[in-house]
């Protein structure tokens, strides 16, 4: 089986005809393809991208061996252009559109109050210094570091990515708070970096609920008197809270504050971390006092929705942190050499295609199969580490009718969680979904 077959077996919708059609529409191919076929370029480049920065010499040599193509490394270099970025974006759109059909997922979506649980977060990747003027970063008298910020939105129920973006380091979470397409029945989980009242109101108007951490110095008002609420004073009086408030310039955005006390050791850790991050600045007395509570802001008005459920649902946001960790640990995001800005966008979009396929077409269906057959749970970190080193060999047996069970046994033996007292993340997700059904 060649590497092209691997990519197209992961996504059967990507036929040679479909790839060629997209290549022509985006301008990646402008004439009859002779030596370099668009399907070969896509398949090989995407798979080389998760190994690090793609070497055009290695790419040319690999395709020459497997496809009997004599194109030079310079020929592949010249195929890297703006049209290539658009070509890969269109392919990524196809990959994200055609999700894996799993009866268990569909059943959960039908029965559950929330049709999708979307988690949004960002991660920082280090870039060559020459890209600083485009992506910015951190600069002082001694050194200059260039960074980019990758935004990701992940649907926890379906186990699928909804979108990616590559932004300058200076484009923080606050600036993209409005840039999310939601649908009625969605639940959005975000941290306080995205906390913007107008963004929360917009999502609610579109039929989506959200749960977010409280952002310090946000002003809330009593919904009847419109008087400002002293949150710390109220918490000290009541110990915990579950109240309806209004916020925003017009005092008309209806929100719910849910606050519960936390153990003293958690309070101490939060205060130590805040003081460390503040460096020479002094943390306010009010902020240090508020660390005594978990404070969530949500638009869910249902009285049956408890503070415990809010906490459990928000804790699911950790999944995207784990996903980013697997990227950096297994897909060589730290191996971006002295590339141009154009080469960077081509490389990252190709990498997004492969990562999306690995999650949607391998990890998610295998995870569901293992749960159904053995009641065990697949480790995201172990699985992605295994796949990053054995992609070609594993797919040869995974997509083989005669050896598919062998593939299942390999994953079951080497990539599942060991028995332990505390539940793994996958079990926590299932428990919460069942409770909300």
Residue 121 lies in a domain: no
How many whole angstroms separate alpha carbon 308 and alpha carbon 306? 5
Residue 390 lies in a domain: no
Residue 137 lies in a domain: no
Nearest to 352 by CA among 387, 390, 318, 324: 324
CA–CA distance from 182 to each of 32, 199, 201, 204, 218 (Å)?
Answer: 40, 11, 12, 9, 24
Residue 413 lies in a domain: no
| Residue that finishes a domain, picked among 292, 316, 340 | 316
Question: How many folded domains does the chain comprise?
Answer: 2
| Residue that finishes a domain, picked among 98, 132, 158 | 98
Residue 109 lies in a domain: no
* Domain ranges, residue 33: 1-98
| Residue that finishes a domain, picked among 98, 121, 147 | 98
Residue 83 lies in a domain: yes
Residue 177 lies in a domain: no
Residue 329 lies in a domain: no
* Structure confidence at residue 5 (pLDDT): 56
Q: Is there a contact between 28 and 87 (Cβ–Cβ < 8 Å)?
A: yes
Q: What is the 3-state secondary structure (H, E, C) of the chain?
A: CCHHHHHHHHCCCCCHHHHHHHHHHHCCCCCCCCCCCHHHHHHHHHHHHCCCCCCHHHHHHHHHHHHCCCCCHHHHHHCCCHHHHHHHHHHHHHHHHCCCCCHHHHHHHHHCCCCEEEEEEEEEEEECHHHHHHHCEEECCCCEEEEEEEEEEEECCCCEEEEEEEEECCCCHHHHCCCCCCCCCEEEEECHHHCCHHHHHHHHHCCCEEEEECCCCCCCECCCCCCECCHHHHHHHHCCEEEEEEECCCCCEEEEEEEEECCHHHHHHHHHHHHHHHCCCCCCHHHHHHCCEEEEEECCCCCCCCHHHHHHHHHCCHHHHHHHHHHHHHCCCCCCCCCCHHHHHHHHHHHHHHHHHHHHHHHHHHHHHHHHHHCCCECHHHHHHHHHHHHHHHHHHHCCCCCHHHHHHHHHHHCECCCCCCCCHHHHHHHHHHHHC
How many whole angstroms separate alpha carbon 15 and alpha carbon 83? 20
Q: Long-range contacts made by residues 61-66, C-beta under 8 angstroms, separation at least 24?
A: 62/3, 66/2, 66/3
Whole-model pTM over 0.75 = yes
Nearest to 123 by CA among 339, 424, 329: 329
Question: For each of the chain's 437 residues, which pLDDT tens digit applies?
Answer: 444 457 877 888 888 899 999 999 999 988 777 778 898 899 889 988 988 888 889 888 888 888 777 788 898 899 999 999 999 999 998 888 765 544 444 444 444 578 888 999 999 999 988 999 999 998 887 888 999 999 999 988 877 888 899 999 999 999 999 999 999 999 999 999 999 999 999 999 999 999 999 999 999 999 999 999 999 999 999 999 999 999 998 889 999 999 999 999 999 999 999 888 887 788 899 999 999 999 999 999 888 888 888 888 888 888 788 888 888 888 888 778 888 999 999 999 999 999 989 988 899 889 888 988 888 889 989 999 999 889 888 988 888 878 888 999 999 999 998 765 556 555 556 565 555 55
């Amino acid at each position: 089986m060649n590497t092209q077959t691997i990519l197209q077996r992961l996504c059967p919708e990507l036929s040679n005809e479909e790839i060629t059609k997209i290549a022509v529409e985006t301008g990646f191919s402008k004439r009859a393809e002779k030596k370099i076929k668009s399907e070969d370029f896509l398949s090989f480049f995407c798979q080389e991208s998760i190994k690090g920065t793609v070497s055009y010499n290695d790419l040319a040599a690999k395709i020459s061996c497997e496809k009997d193509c004599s194109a030079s490394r310079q020929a592949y270099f010249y195929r890297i252009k703006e049209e290539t970025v658009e070509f890969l974006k269109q392919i990524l759109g196809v990959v994200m559109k055609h999700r894996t059909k799993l009866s268990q997922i569909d059943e959960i979506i039908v029965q559950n109050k929330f049709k999708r649980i979307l988690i949004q977060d960002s991660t920082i990747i280090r870039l060559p210094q020459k890209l600083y003027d485009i992506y910015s970063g951190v600069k002082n008298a001694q050194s200059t570091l260039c960074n980019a910020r990758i935004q990701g939105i992940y649907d926890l129920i379906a186990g699928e990515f909804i979108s990616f973006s590559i932004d300058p380091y200076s484009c923080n979470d606050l600036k993209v708070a409005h840039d999310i397409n939601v649908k009625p029945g969605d639940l959005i989980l975000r941290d306080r970096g995205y906390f913007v009242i107008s963004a929360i109101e917009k999502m609610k108007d579109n039929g989506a609920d959200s749960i977010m951490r409280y952002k310090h110095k946000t002003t809330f008002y009593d919904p009847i008197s419109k008087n400002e609420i002293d949150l710390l004073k109220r918490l000290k009086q009541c110990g915990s809270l579950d109240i309806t408030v209004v916020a925003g310039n017009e005092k008309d955005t209806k929100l719910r504050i849910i606050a519960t006390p936390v153990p003293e050791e958690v309070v101490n850790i939060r205060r130590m971390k805040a003081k460390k991050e503040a460096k020479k600045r002094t943390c306010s007395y009010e902020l240090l006092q508020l660390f005594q509570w978990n404070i969530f802001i949500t638009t869910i008005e249902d009285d049956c929705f408890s503070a415990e459920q809010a906490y459990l649902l928000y804790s699911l946001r950790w999944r995207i942190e784990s996903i980013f960790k697997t990227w950096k640990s297994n897909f060589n995001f730290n191996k971006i050499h002295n590339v141009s800005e154009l080469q960077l966008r081509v490389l990252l979009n190709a990498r997004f295609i492969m990562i999306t396929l690995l999650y949607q077409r391998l990890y998610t269906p295998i995870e569901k199969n293992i749960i159904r057959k053995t009641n065990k749970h697949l480790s995201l970190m172990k699985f992605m580490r295994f796949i990053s080193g054995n992609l070609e060999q594993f797919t040869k047996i995974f997509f083989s009718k005669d050896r598919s069970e062998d593939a299942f046994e390999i994953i079951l033996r080497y990539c599942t969680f060991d028995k332990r007292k505390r539940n793994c993340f996958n079990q926590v997700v299932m428990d919460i979904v069942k409770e909300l059904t």
